[in-house]
Amino acid sequence: MREKIIEKAAELFINLGFKSVTMDDIAQEMGISKKTIYTHFKNKTALVKEAVMHMYHLITHGIDCIRALEQNPIEELYAIKKFAMTRLKDEKSSPQYQLQKYYPEIYSLLKEKQFEKMHECTVANLERGIAQGLYRENLDVEFVSRIYFIGVNGIKDDTLFPIDQFPKAQLFEAYLEYHLRGIVTKEGLKTLKKFINQQSN
């Protein structure tokens, strides 16, 4: 039952926001009493933390599966972007913004974990790209990986990128192209253009 509550809460938080969803809403959605939820979680904050970690592990597992395919590095980044966009249905709301505002400690923990994971993935991607001649060999890998992380997080800020002006899917698409154009070789650019053409068709 504990796992089912976490899964349902995670789904509701992503779709409706961390602030909007109450314990009553979760209980009603599941057809159980609120008391049942409180036997597993002492308060809403504890449930939010578990739901956030559940979502984080789902996404990182998916990314690990994509990385295990060992596609060329540019293809890998497009596959990860596509996967992340299907997982985070944040077209209408920005769950990360609400998490930061109402649950700052959980947000800080998540951001730390996200950085560790994304840094590891990006460094590996950059090193493979350089080795395969798709990325420029004079790249400062540590600098680029950190700038990429800042960018990916920065474009999630709805105050900087209002959703009505910058739909999430297009925004991530544009940022990935921006990132890759800055690091690819002439050979890498050929591969990148194939993906840009695929997206526009």
Could you say which residues of the chain have pLDDT below 70?
88-94, 200-201
- pLDDT tens per residue across span 164-188: 899 888 899 999 999 999 999 999 9
Note the pLDDT of residue 97. Answer: 79
Residue 135: strand, helix, or coil = strand
Containing structural domain, residue 92: 50-200
Note the pLDDT of residue 65. Answer: 97
Helix (H) or strand (E) holding 196: helix 186-200
Query: What's the pTM value of the predicted model, to 2 decimals?
Result: 0.87
- pLDDT tens per residue across span 52-66: 999 999 999 999 999
**Number of domains the chain is built from:** 1
Query: Which residue in 122, 152, 121, 155 sits closest to 140, CA to CA?
Result: 122
Domain of residue 129, CATH code:
1.10.357.10
Q: Does residue 2 lie in a domain region?
A: no
Note the pLDDT of residue 40. Answer: 97
Q: Does residue 12 lie in a domain region?
A: no
120-159 burial, b at 16+ Cβ within 10 Å, e below that, comes to ebbeebbebbbeeebbbeebebeebbbebbeebeebbebe
Q: Does residue 21 lie in a domain region?
A: no
Q: Does residue 43 lie in a domain region?
A: no
Contact 26, 12 (CB under 8 A): yes
Q: Does residue 76 lie in a domain region?
A: yes
